Structure 1
Amino acid sequence: MAGAAVDAATAVDDAAAGAALQAALAAPAGRRARAAAGAAPARRTRRISGQQAFVLHQYPYSESSLIVDLFTRDHGRLTALAKGAKKPTSNFRALLLPLQLLRLDCSWVEQEQGMIATIRSVERAGGPAVPRGEPLLAGLYLNELLARLLVRGDAHPAVFDAYQMTLHVLASAPGQALEVLLRAFELVLLQQLGMLPDLSVQTQDQQPLGERKRYALIPEMGLHEVWDGRRSLSGQQWQAIAQALAGPQALAACMRALGDAAADLKPQLRAALAHYLGAELHTQRLMRGLRTL
């Protein structure tokens, strides 16, 4: 199921997304032609108001507009057109920025070519200031991770809440260990997307974990006992993480459960993410020499 979800996901590709949206925006001429021929295509307009959202990515579209990749709480990842956003008089210009909690109204048309979303209004919805330094790069890493793994239109409110809390910690308590925070978010994300095996049992035989035995998370194999000294966690640590993911406030619970295991967990989660991403993230290359990412 997870593999199918990732196969359906589309990465942030400026040229491809722009071409798709341009084709959809050009659809009225095609509809008129089909109408003249007696064919009436299905068309439905939907609207959402007061939706919480974050900007994952934006890029120019035409001389005055932007295409914005959004992560909304109730509608998942959406790609929307912000008309006139590049004009000096547009209030969109200063608002459609990454790592800021927004409240927006938008509408979209569902038709044969796909979905056209248009931002009607946007405002800041409070929250902490945008982080700086390493926390800023960590936030951009999260954005790229979400843009690559989330399927457009699939709502994941638990991921949204964990992402919002992660940004809050990055901005308000930058002195906290970034590694623990990032590993906790990666765990929540993988678990919510169905990309994480049951961490309370061995994957191969579904037998309970031995508290003092060592287990490693291996792509396509799951949780396996290891004896060769590779990076691994004890059965007790994996069980604590599994309990944290199953309960409320999973992000905070995972941070507590990780303790000093974050460093050993890092290469295991990197391998798991690489299996689904297929390629290294730009922010990972940028931050390769830094300990936090």
Structure 2
Amino acid sequence: MMSTRVNDEPAFVLHSIPYKETSLILDVFTRSYGRMALIAKGAKRPHSVLRPVLQRFQPLAVSWSGKSELRTMTKAEWLGGVPPLVGDALLCGFYLNELLVKFIAREDSYEDLYEEYAKTVHLLGQDPKELEPILRPFELSLLKEAGFAAALNFCIDTQTTPEEDEHYVYQPERGIRKLQADDPGHWPVMTGKHLLCMNDKNYQDPETLIQSKALTRFLLGLHLPDQAMMTRQILIDLKKI
């Protein structure tokens, strides 16, 4: 049973909605407890100590108590270290948050994914010129952690690591296997070399980025229609992802 009181848990605010006149209901992503629903009482008051702290894309230490699905936040402190996201990087931040809300259930721990999210937000805070090498690793980590993508370093028909010069497809509900002449044309085709680069989060080769884009669009399309992701469609239209 989850503890009724948690202190100083690393977290990020994903989303907030007003509650009554002075409070907020927050969807927060925590390192040890996953997504949590917290009520921040009085956070909308002009002089509330919580009001300037509860910002998206900023690392926090949060405390809460309670047994219901909606816990009560008792404290939140800003940990610093991440510049505010601006421009396209800010839009990408909203995209990350939308992905988390759509793909992971509440109160399931995703510690590795939390660390990947924190790293990605930090990189976006550096005002990068290239966004795809930052977004791709997070997308694939999310899909694998949430159980929507198979391992990229394992071929299901040979039961071995992909060979660099061979061509492979991603077969829905199964995973990576060698390309066959009668495979559907919409399945993404990738070489073993670039699959292994994706698995190692190495996106220095532009061809790895091209093949990973085809793969992530395919996987996201399988499990989440484009129209359900507003920021994703905006980024696609702007050719940012």
TM-score, normalisation: structure 1: 0.73
Deviation >4 Å, runs of 4+: 227-231, 256-259
If you compute each CA radius of gyration, which structure gives the higher value, 1 or 2? 1
8 Å CA contact 1:103, 1:122 repeated in 2: yes
C-alpha distance in 1 between matches for 2:41 and 2:159: 53
Unpaired segments of 5 or more residues in structure 2? none
Q: 1:208: how far off?
A: 4.8
The percent of aligned pairs where both chains have the same amino acid is 32
What whole-Å deviation, never above 9, does each CA across 1:191-244 have from its counterpart, x for those lacking one?
2223221323333553553321222324334223336697532112213433x2
C-alpha distance in 2 between matches for 1:84 and 1:229: 51
Tell me: CA distance 1:76–1:258, structure 2 relative to 1, closer, same or farther (3 Å).
farther
Tell me: CA distance 1:145–1:61, structure 2 relative to 1, closer, same or farther (3 Å).
same
C-alpha distance in 2 between matches for 1:47 and 1:64: 23
Q: Provide the alpha-carbon RMSD of the alignment.
A: 2.4
Counterpart position of 1:7 = none
Counterpart position of 2:86 = 132
Bigger shift: residues 81-90 or 262-271: 262-271
C-alpha distance in 2 between matches for 1:48 and 1:57: 20
Tell me: CA distance 1:128–1:44, structure 2 relative to 1, closer, same or farther (3 Å).
closer
Q: Which residues of 2 match residues 244-283 of structure 1 at below 5 A?
A: 244=200, 254-256=201-203, 260-278=207-225, 280-283=228-231
Counterpart position of 1:155 = 109
Unpaired segments of 5 or more residues in structure 1? 1-42, 245-253
Q: 1:256: how far off?
A: 4.4
> Residue type of the partner of 1:288?
I
Does residue 60 of structure 1 match 2:60?
no
Q: Which residues of 2 match residues 1-293 of structure 1 at below 5 A?
A: 46-110=4-68, 115-175=69-129, 177-204=130-157, 206=159, 208-226=161-179, 231-242=188-199, 244=200, 254-256=201-203, 260-278=207-225, 280-293=228-241
C-alpha distance in 2 between matches for 1:258 and 1:98: 32
Tell me: CA distance 1:45–1:230, structure 2 relative to 1, closer, same or farther (3 Å).
closer
8 Å CA contact 1:76, 1:152 repeated in 2: yes
Q: 1:259: how far off?
A: 5.0
TM-score, normalisation: structure 2: 0.88
C-alpha distance in 1 between matches for 2:75 and 2:119: 25
C-alpha distance in 2 between matches for 1:45 and 1:236: 45
C-alpha distance in 1 between matches for 2:110 and 2:53: 23
8 Å CA contact 1:47, 1:106 repeated in 2: yes
SS class of match (1:220): coil
**How many positions carry a matched residue from both structures?**
236
> Residue type of the partner of 2:65?
S
Counterpart position of 1:5 = none
8 Å CA contact 1:64, 1:84 repeated in 2: yes
8 Å CA contact 2:170, 2:188 repeated in 1: no
Higher relative contact order (CA 8 A, sep 6+): 1
C-alpha distance in 2 between matches for 1:255 and 1:132: 25
C-alpha distance in 1 between matches for 2:186 and 2:99: 29
What whole-Å deviation, never above 9, does each CA across 1:252-289 have from its counterpart, x for those lacking one?
xx034765311222122122123233553111122231
SS class of match (1:237): helix
SS class of match (2:202): helix
